[in-house]
Each structure stands twice: as structure tokens, then as C-alpha cells.
Structure 1
Amino acid sequence: MTRISITPRFVLDYTVGLYGGQVEVVTKDIGATIGTEIRDENGMRICAYRPGTGHPSTAEEIAGYHLREALENVVANYGDAQQPLSREVAAQLRDVVAGEQKWDPAAEEGTWL
């Protein structure tokens, strides 16, 4: 029997100076809360956490706030970007969500991988 899996995705596009990029926000209902995973343009996980909400749309909105804070940190450190800053954005995102409750999607039953 073939297993079919549908994973909702939400993409946040951003621009910093002359450089633009995007991150993908993937949410999963994991009981009383929503697991949130933020991935880079290549689908690689940047971070995964539990934002403390039971609503996917709120989790996506929170991810947007985290991204904005990370981008503000990038601008504070580098000014207007003249080159791709995806590594710096990923590093800042990890720092911003460090206070959130950690979540390991691979440890959950029915993983996305």
C-alpha cells in the first residue's frame, strides 16, 4: 500500500537591502500545541520549536515575528545587504527562537522526513 502524506507549508519572502530570500514555515499539530519548523530555500531545517499555540495560523504569524527580529539583527550587524545573507539570517533565526521550547520533528510519530 502506498502511503500518502500532505504537509501544509507557508512561505515568508523577505528583502534586506538589495538581497531577497525566503524561508518556509511548516506546522504540525502535535497535541495541545503546534510544532513549527523553519526551513531555508533548499528545504534544510534552520530550527524547530513549539510556539505555545494550538492554531497553525498563529504559529505562522509568530514565525513571521521571529523572522523580522532576525532580519533586524542582520541589518544591525551588516547594514544594507549587498550580497546573499542566508547563513546570517539562519544564524539569527536560531538565536531568536532559542527561548522557545525545543521540538524534534524526527522524534514524533509520523515524521515528515
Structure 2
Amino acid sequence: MAVMLNRPAPYLTFTVGPYVHRVDIVTKDIGATIGTQLFYAGVAGLGNRHVPLVSYRPGTRYHDRAEACAVEHLTTALERARMSTRVDAEDVALLGRCLADVVQEDGCQLWDPHATEEDEW
């Protein structure tokens, strides 16, 4: 299963069964690092579901490096997730849990993009 980074709006695609699925990448400068959020967007071309999968700090100051890390993280998580060919809500939740595990194993910190600075410290 190959994961591809697409431009100009950064998103990743992967194939499960006969369908190509899309994961959107949102990066945000949050001070000393880049915050990264991954959202499951559904089957490519059939509408945008935008289900949050994981938010984390990859420990880089560069958006392109954060996007490259997202490719690595999603690839590893997909290898572990073993999703069904239907890719239902359970599969998306499983992918989110696998992503959270993978980013933490890589030394990244999970991040709550809705927390205030006072909440984070």
C-alpha cells in the first residue's frame, strides 16, 4: 500500500480495496515547533468527511519536514491497522489510534489544537 503526498494543498492518498482514500494534512506554526493535524477525508472524489485522526508536534520548525513525517507516520499506521475493504467508522477510529501510537513511538508529542497556552503547560 503506497502513501503519496500531493500538492498544492497537502494531502495523502492510500488505497484500500478498489478505493483511493484521502487524508488531509494541516500544519500550523505554534511557536517553537509546527503543529500537525491529520484528518480522514474519505474516498477521494466523493466528498470531504474531515474526521480528525491525530494532532501532534513533530519536533520540526519546517512545514515540509512535518508533511514528510506525516507520510512516514501514515504509512506505518496503515501497515499496523489492517482495515477492512469497507473502511467504516471502526476502521477510521482504528487508524486514528494506530497513528497516535506511531507518532508517540517516533518521539512526537500529541497536541490539543484547541487548548490555550495555559492549558498546555
**TM bracket, shorter-chain basis:** 0.7 to 0.9
SS of structure 2 residue aligned to 1:60: helix
Matches of 1:87 and 1:102, distance apart in 2:
16
Equivalent residue for 1:68, pick from 63, 72, 75: 75
Using the size of structure 2 for normalisation, the TM-score is: 0.69
Displacement of 1:61: 0.5
Alignment of 1:41-60 (within 5 A): 41=41, 42-60=49-67
Unpaired segments of 5 or more residues in structure 2?
Answer: 1-7, 42-48
Matches of 1:18 and 1:27, distance apart in 2:
29
Using the size of structure 1 for normalisation, the TM-score is: 0.73
Inter-CA distance 74–102: structure 2 relative to 1 (3 Å threshold): closer
Displacement of 1:96: 1.4
Unpaired segments of 5 or more residues in structure 1?
Answer: 1-7
The answer as to 2:85 corresponding to 1:82 is yes
Kept in 1, the 8 Å contact 2:53–2:95? The answer is no
SS of structure 1 residue aligned to 2:10: strand
Give per-residue Cα distances to partners, 1:59-98, cap 9 Å, x unaligned: 00100100000111124xx6xx532243332232122123
Matches of 1:40 and 1:74, distance apart in 2:
14
Q: Work out the percentage of aligned pairs sharing the same amino acid.
A: 42
Matches of 2:40 and 2:97, distance apart in 1:
11
- CA RMSD between the two structures: 2.2
Kept in 1, the 8 Å contact 2:35–2:55? The answer is yes
